[in-house]
Amino acid sequence: MRKLRTASVLSGKKEWWIKILLPLKPGFYSEKRRACILGSPLVLKLNQKPVLVIGGGSVAERKTACLVKGGAGVTLISPAITKGLESQLDQFCFYNRALTIEDVAQEYCSRLEINWRSFFMVVVATNSPVLNEKLSGALLSYISLINVVDNLELSTFYFPAVVDRGALKLSVTTSGKSPVLAKKIRGCLEDMFGMEYDAYLEELHYIRSELKRIEADPVIRKRMLEERTQFPL
């Protein structure tokens, strides 16, 4: 069934997709190599972290919203920005300029008076793949965390789809294979997990802290927590 659907979606491009799928034969990558390619989910604390966003289109707008929500101090450089970004100009520092390769050739850019090394991470989101590649190549020597929105290979991290329920955050990634599937799964999880989980986590946190105080044995503590943790709500 799944094979049939793949074939019909890509009909007329049969040879092309066979070439693409061949390297994915089972056993082609060792499990370890595959795990490295696919990346590891971690949770970053962005509070007060200086983050650079290059570009001001709809993709930059989505990434900026996520970063600002996480408490990052965003600096955005772009010759033009979306209406959405324009309405949030008080939320980030804006340089109304087109960034050039020359600007990032040295760690200090005298034209913009910016030291690239001062940034914790960068999102490269212009609409030019060539420019994105060149900018990210240069910036990688100053900033380790780099997301190139049109190039997963050049990125050292990427964004998942997120259900944000306060303390409960569910993130979904397809490792760049199908952002639309990530989005659909996120929508489905949003229906399953409401804001009541945030309040419930406060309760669970309180119980857990109290237990840590009154019960010294971690094995008993764990059993008690498992008994008291209700799911689904």
Ligand X SMILES: C[C@@]1(CC(=O)O)c2cc3[nH]c(cc4nc(cc5[nH]c(cc(n2)[C@H]1CCC(=O)O)[C@@](C)(CC(=O)O)[C@@H]5CCC(=O)O)C(CC(=O)O)=C4CCC(=O)O)c(CCC(=O)O)c3CC(=O)O
Ligand Y SMILES: NC(=O)C1=CN([C@@H]2O[C@H](COP(=O)(O)OP(=O)(O)OC[C@H]3O[C@@H](n4cnc5c(N)ncnc54)[C@H](O)[C@@H]3O)[C@@H](O)[C@H]2O)C=CC1
- Residues binding ligand X (CB under 6 A): 62, 66, 147, 149-150, 152, 158-161, 173-177, 179-180, 182-183, 186
Provide, rounded to whole angstroms, the least separation between the CB of residue 13 and ligand X: 16
155 binds ligand Y (CB under 6 A): no
Read off the tokens for 169: 């955050």
Distances in whole angstroms, Cα of residue 215 to Cα of each of 75, 78, 102, 224: 47, 56, 61, 10
In the bound state with ligand Y, the residue whose beta carbon lies nearer, of 147 and 197, is 147
Provide, rounded to whole angstroms, the least separation between the CB of residue 86 and ligand Y: 11
64 binds, among ligand Y, ligand X, none (CB under 5 to 8 A by kind): none
Provide, rounded to whole angstroms, the least separation between the CB of residue 13 and ligand Y: 20
56 binds ligand Y (CB under 6 A): yes
In the bound state with ligand X, the residue whose beta carbon lies nearer, of 95 and 158, is 158
In the bound state with ligand Y, the residue whose beta carbon lies nearer, of 132 and 197, is 132
Cα-Cα-Cα-Cα torsion 96, 97, 98, 102, nearest 10 degrees, comes to -150
Distances in whole angstroms, Cα of residue 167 to Cα of each of 83, 120, 199, 233: 30, 23, 9, 15
Which of 49, 55, 53, 85 shows the shortest CA–CA distance to 70? 49
Provide, rounded to whole angstroms, the least separation between the CB of residue 25 and ligand X: 22
138 binds ligand Y (CB under 6 A): no
Evaluated on CA atoms 221, 223, 227, 233, the torsion sign reads positive
Q: CA-to-CA distance for 20 and 18, rounded, in angstroms?
A: 5
In the bound state with ligand X, the residue whose beta carbon lies nearer, of 77 and 182, is 182
Residue at shortest CB range from ligand Y? 57
Q: CA-to-CA distance for 11 and 4, rounded, in angstroms?
A: 10
* 25, HSE (Cβ side, Cα atoms, 13 Å): 6
Q: Which residues bind ligand Y (CB under 6 A)?
A: 54-60, 77-81, 98-99, 125-128, 131, 149-150, 179
